[in-house]
Amino acid sequence: MNPVKCALPLHVPRPAGPWHGVREHLAQLGNAVVYTTWTEWLPSVLTEPRLRELLGADWNRYRRTPDAAVRHRFAAARLLIKYTAAAALNTPPEYLDLGYRLGGRPYLRGFDQIEVSLTHTGDVMAVGLSRTGRIGVDVEFADRFVRLDLLQARILTPTEADEVAGLPEDERAAHLLRLWTLKEAYSKALGQGLRLSFKEFGFSRGGRLQAPDGSAATRGEWGFATHSVLDRYLLSVACHDAGLSTAGDMSVQTMLDKGFLSAMTQGTPDPPL
């Protein structure tokens, strides 16, 4: 199969968009990634009259969070997920309902074929969507201080350790941070988080998944990429093609899970005569 390609991240500075790239990337590549900052979306959290409707089941959690900064960031992240998914599905964001799997990973109720991943650090938050398989995103400060000895001991396979040892000393920290974000993204895509040992898999300099001995670990069904965003962050993406038969039409009527649709229909009373 052709190697999977992860979409270039799109900067969306406000709920109004621009959103056209999300549908284009999902149609062409099967995945899309959006990033923004808390401060860019904060005005919408503070002034949006439909905030309760948009947050849906998350409204009570939002209202119960005592720290204002934490509360507003929580709301901004949920709005980002919903607006991104709404752009993909061509439906109003308030019509979408978020649920959470074990470990806190968000998902769209009724849309089993759409995978969602959320990441945030500092002022940045990013959302990944996929209609072909798993997706994971991770963002870190590009100039984050790292203890090279500790990080190498925690995350490197023997092959990666040899590669790092061969790099000029001033390039090692940046390379290790890139590996860290790639491994975080892949682990999130698998739904494992930090439960998966980062020494059990590695990445080549070209971004291909490897076994600890350096041999290829995939046949092209996974794609990986790392990007510099907003001049001070690294954003890594892991995207998967499970070989699913996906519809070309990304509208909500096409992508809504039929079982969920049936349940909703059966639970709706007949209209009055």
- Categorize the per-residue pLDDT at 262 as very low, low, confident or very high, splitting at 50, 70 and 90: very low
Helix (H, G, I), strand (E, B) or coil at 128: strand
pLDDT number for residue 201: 92
Most confident of 125-129, 168-172, 189-193, 213-217: 125-129
Q: What pLDDT does 244 receive?
A: 67
Was domain 1-133+241-266 assigned CATH 3.90.470.20?
yes
Highest mean pLDDT of the ranges 101-105, 200-204, 256-260? 200-204
**Domain ranges in the chain with CATH number 3.90.470.20:** 1-133+241-266, 142-219
Beta-strand (E) ranges in the chain? Answer: 10-11, 31-37, 98-100, 106-108, 115-121, 124-130, 135-141, 202-203, 209-210, 222-229, 233-240
pLDDT of residue 261: 38
110 pLDDT higher than 50:
yes
Which CATH class for the 142-219 domain?
Answer: alpha beta
Element (H, E) at 171: helix 169-189
The whole-number average pLDDT for the span 54-79 is 96
What is the pTM for the complete model shown? 0.86
209, 103, 85, 128: CA torsion to nearest 10? -20
Question: 132: how many CB neighbours lie within 10 A of its CB?
Answer: 21
